[in-house]
């Protein structure tokens, strides 16, 4: 086989599996308290090394727990194109992470190698790029990952150091495409795309100032530290970065995109009267999520309230911006008339956003299960596909064939200047976005360039539609596996009768919608409800939660 079993066992013996704990491969890898992850991260290094041999490409491994508390950590694996590890490899990663017998560890690896055609490891060569965020446990875990990679003969580990998650994914993609893949190259690509869009802004009076201030909540994480690299080369935007972690702030504690989006509260050091109406953005801990917000006076004029623009609003803005230029191309260049454009959401998307996309923009909208890996895969099927979760994680994907056509088409082949300009704008957008994964940096500057181009304020953007009030709850259950849903997670298929009970509750409110889904990481059932008013949304969520609770307790459904 080529696997050096003694080498692997010797390396693995230094990373014993914690007793009594089962590690699950979630929507973005493994995640747990950082103090117990050494063994799991070591074995994730083995998986990344084998994936590199299997694909003949560079693979990435990131040590981060994203928006989780500072004591947690985790590991994500990036595939050759920069996206998440192939779902076909997830069961292998999970079984390897939970095998306590070292001899069996070798057997699990050998069986998987045999099945996937990874032969003669010692004669092969592979490479894994390793990085981490700013968590205290990151350095130790990065070393464990490095030892895991190097436990497989013929694979080298390159430690890049402290990066945002999107930076690592971008570098993996760039490396395998044979283009510049340094951190400087990353900054330069975003900057050049942003400048190109801004340079093509139509001349008009009362243009929104290109130096308008954007206040950024860095979540006391790696994003706050790394954003300076872009600030230095993009003069068109003034950034005021707060919660940088340098003044005693704690990673993700009362700060960050997840806190703002879930709690609908200002992060620390925000919400002052001096910030009123200014555009604000909040990253999460590893800077792969972003949400926007601004403050306005309360209706009673005695306080300040937060106006949130989440992933749904981001997706809608980008859909408007991209569709405008795509329509220009379709109307003027006949061989681009068949280009398909679509957006991908989950059931958690606010119903008002989906309705606006379908009815006002005429855009195709499809739903996938929760988890970026599902949305990314579906969006990649379009010539231009946009996906965002409400939590602010998403990006824009351009199919290679479409991108190649735009790149190679000479200016003389476009019938009008408007069509040529539209093609250049789409190419510039493809430079700003991170096509490997959601990226707070790229979305920040793409949103800013879109607003400048359309001469919109954040208030104009917010006004394109009004969110339906919603409420999310979770119900503890003994076994979440008893609840099964359709592929889009909008309907319950088992246990029988639960969907009818949900429909009954929905019928009691105006503009109601509700669904339930089992958590991917813990024994709880998540409940989502929305309605015309917040009171109705709250009542709907509670009513659905009661049905789930009764079933979990064996009480059954009401007659």
Q: pLDDT, tens digit, for every residue of 314-336?
A: 999 999 999 999 988 887 776 67
Residue ranges of the annotated binding site for Mg(2+) are: 66, 284, 286, 288
- What pLDDT is attached to residue 119? 55
Q: How far apart are CA 253 and CA 62, in angstroms?
A: 21
Specify the higher pLDDT residue, 479 or 355. Answer: 355
Do residues 304 and 280 lie in contact, with contact meaning Cβ atoms separated by under 8 Å?
no
Helix (H, G, I), strand (E, B), or coil: what is residue 197? helix
Mean pLDDT, residues 455-467 taken together: 96
35 noted as active-site residue: no
Mean pLDDT, residues 72-81 taken together: 97
Question: Nearest 5°: phi and psi at 73?
Answer: -155, 180
Reply yes or no on whether the pLDDT at 11 is more than 70: yes
- What pLDDT is attached to residue 207? 46
Q: How far apart are CA 324 and CA 416, in angstroms?
A: 15
Mean pLDDT, residues 162-181 taken together: 98
Residue 101, Cβ neighbours under 10 Å: how many?
Answer: 10
How far is the CA of 388 from the CAs of 299, 438, 497, in angstroms? Answer: 31, 8, 32
Find residue 159's DSSP bridge partners.
Answer: 130
Q: Which CATH superfamily is domain 195-309 in?
A: Alpha-D-Glucose-1,6-Bisphosphate, subunit A, domain 3 (3.40.120.10)
Reply yes or no on whether the pLDDT at 212 is more than 80: no
- What pLDDT is attached to residue 2? 57
- What pLDDT is attached to residue 121? 47
- What pLDDT is attached to residue 332? 74
Question: Backbone dihedral region of 232: left (phi > 0), alpha (psi from -120 to 50 degrees) or beta?
Answer: alpha
Specify the higher pLDDT residue, 124 or 100. Answer: 100
Reply yes or no on whether the pLDDT at 397 is more than 80: yes
Element (H, E) at 141: helix 138-150
Interval 248-305: pLDDT, tens: 899 999 999 999 998 989 999 998 888 888 999 999 999 999 999 999 987 765 688 9
Q: CATH 3.30.310.50 in the chain: give the residue spans.
A: 470-552
Bridge-based pairing of strands 470-476 and 524-530 is: antiparallel
Reply yes or no on whether the pLDDT at 408 is more than 80: no
Question: Could you tell me the pLDDT band of residue 210, with boundaries at 50, 70 and 90?
Answer: very low
Mean pLDDT, residues 350-376 taken together: 94
Q: Which of 52, 66, 282, 430 is catalytic?
A: 66
Q: CATH 3.40.120.10 in the chain: give the residue spans.
A: 5-162, 195-309, 312-462
Question: Could you tell me the pLDDT band of residue 76, with boundaries at 50, 70 and 90?
Answer: very high
Reply yes or no on whether the pLDDT at 182 is more than 90: yes
- What pLDDT is attached to residue 406? 81
- What pLDDT is attached to residue 188? 96
CATH value of 312-462 in 3.90.550.10, 3.40.710.10, 3.40.120.10, 3.50.50.60: 3.40.120.10
Fold held by 5-162: Alpha-D-Glucose-1,6-Bisphosphate; Chain A, domain 3 (3.40.120)
Reply yes or no on whether the pLDDT at 395 is more than 60: yes
Reply yes or no on whether the pLDDT at 552 is more than 80: no
- What pLDDT is attached to residue 339? 87
Specify the higher pLDDT residue, 478 or 320. Answer: 320
Reply yes or no on whether the pLDDT at 438 is more than 80: yes
Q: How far apart are CA 268 and CA 254, in angstroms?
A: 6
- What pLDDT is attached to residue 205? 43
Residue 244, Cβ neighbours under 10 Å: how many?
Answer: 19
Mean model confidence pLDDT for the chain: 91
Q: Which CATH superfamily is domain 470-552 in?
A: Alpha-D-phosphohexomutase, C-terminal domain (3.30.310.50)
Question: Could you tell me the pLDDT band of residue 246, with boundaries at 50, 70 and 90?
Answer: confident
Q: Which of 117, 96, 118 is nearest to 107 (CA)?
A: 96
Residue ranges of the annotated binding site are: 66, 284, 286, 288, 389-391, 517-521, 526
- What pLDDT is attached to residue 237? 84
Bridge-based pairing of strands 364-367 and 384-388 is: unpaired
Specify the higher pLDDT residue, 553 or 175. Answer: 175
Interval 480-534: pLDDT, tens: 888 999 888 999 998 889 999 999 999 999 999 999 998 876 788 999 999 999 9
Reply yes or no on whether the pLDDT at 404 is more than 90: no
Reply yes or no on whether the pLDDT at 393 is more than 70: yes
- What pLDDT is attached to residue 346? 95
Residue ranges of the annotated binding site for substrate are: 389-391, 517-521, 526
- Mean pLDDT is lowest, of 350-359, 447-456, 475-484, for 475-484
Interval 101-112: pLDDT, tens: 998 999 999 999
Mean pLDDT, residues 361-365 taken together: 96
Reply yes or no on whether the pLDDT at 243 is more than 50: yes
Mean pLDDT, residues 540-548 taken together: 95
Q: How far apart are CA 288 and CA 172, in angstroms?
A: 15
- Strands (DSSP E) along 415-532, which ranges? 470-476, 484-485, 492-494, 513-518, 524-530
How far is the CA of 321 from the CAs of 197, 203, 318, in angstroms? Answer: 11, 17, 5
Reply yes or no on whether the pLDDT at 429 is more than 50: yes
Q: How far apart are CA 557 and CA 81, in angstroms?
A: 47
Helix (H, G, I), strand (E, B), or coil: what is residue 159? strand
Q: pLDDT above 70 covers what percent of the chain?
A: 94
- What pLDDT is attached to residue 303? 82
């Amino acid at each position: 086989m080529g696997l050096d079993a003694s080498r692997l066992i010797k390396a693995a013996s230094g990373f014993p599996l914690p007793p009594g704990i089962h590690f699950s491969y979630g929507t973005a890898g493994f995640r747990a308290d950082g103090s117990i992850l050494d063994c799991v991260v070591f074995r994730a290094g083995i998986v990344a090394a084998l994936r590199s041999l299997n694909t003949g490409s560079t693979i990435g491994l990131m040590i981060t727990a994203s928006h989780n508390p500072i004591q947690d950590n985790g590991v994500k694996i990036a595939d050759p194109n920069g996206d998440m590890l192939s779902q076909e490899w997830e069961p292998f990663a999970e079984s390897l992470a939970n095998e306590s017998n070292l001899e069996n560890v070798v057997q699990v690896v050998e069986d998987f190698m045999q099945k996937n055609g990874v032969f003669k490891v010692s004669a092969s060569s592979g490479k894994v790029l390793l990085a981490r965020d700013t968590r205290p446990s990151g350095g130790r875990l990065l070393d464990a990952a490095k030892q895991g990679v190097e436990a497989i003969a013929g694979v080298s580990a390159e430690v890049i150091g402290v990066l945002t998650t999107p930076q690592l994914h971008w570098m993996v993609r760039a490396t395998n495409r044979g283009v510049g893949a340094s951190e400087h190259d990353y900054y330069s690509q975003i900057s050049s795309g942003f400048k190109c869009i801004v340079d093509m802004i139509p001349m008009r009076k009362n243009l929104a100032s290109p130096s308008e201030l954007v206040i950024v909540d860095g979540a006391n994480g790696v994003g706050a530290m790394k954003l300076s690299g872009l600030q230095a080369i993009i003069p068109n935007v003034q950034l005021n970065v707060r919660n940088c972690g340098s003044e005693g702030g704690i990673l993700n504690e009362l700060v960050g995109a997840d806190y703002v989006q879930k709690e609908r509260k200002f992060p620390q050091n925000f919400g002052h009267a001096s910030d009123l109406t200014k555009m604000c953005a909040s990253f999460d801990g590893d800077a792969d999520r972003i949400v926007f917000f601004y403050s306005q006076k309360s209706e009673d004029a005695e306080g300040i309230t937060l106006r949130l623009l989440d992933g749904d609003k981001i997706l809608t803005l980008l859909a408007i911006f991209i569709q405008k230029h795509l329509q220009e191309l379709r109307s003027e260049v006949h061989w681009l008339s068949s280009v398909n454009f679509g957006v991908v959401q989950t059931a958690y998307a606010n119903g008002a956003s989906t309705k606006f996309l379908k009815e006002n923009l005429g855009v195709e909208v499809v739903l996938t299960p929760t988890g970026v890996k599902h949305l990314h895969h579906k969006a990649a099927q379009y010539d231009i596909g946009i996906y965002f979760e409400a939590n602010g994680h998403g990006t824009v994907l351009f199919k290679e064939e479409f991108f190649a056509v735009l790149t190679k088409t000479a200016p003389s082949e476009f019938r009008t200047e408007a069509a040529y300009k539209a093609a250049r704008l789409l190419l510039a957008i493809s430079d700003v976005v991170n096509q490997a994964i959601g990226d707070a940096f790229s979305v920040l500057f793409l949103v800013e360039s879109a607003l400048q181009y359309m001469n919109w304020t954040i208030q104009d953007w917010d006004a394109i539609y009004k969110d339906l009030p919603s409420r999310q709850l979770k119900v503890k259950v003994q076994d979440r596996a008893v609840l099964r849903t359709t592929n889009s997670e909008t309907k319950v298929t088992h246990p029988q009768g639960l969907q009818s009970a949900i429909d009954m509750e929905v019928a009691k409110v105006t503009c109601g919608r509700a669904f339930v889904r089992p958590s991917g990481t813990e024994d709880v059932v998540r409940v989502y409800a929305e309605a015309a008013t917040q009171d109705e949304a709250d009542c709907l969520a509670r009513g659905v939660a009661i049905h789930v609770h009764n079933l979990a307790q064996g009480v059954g459904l009401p007659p």
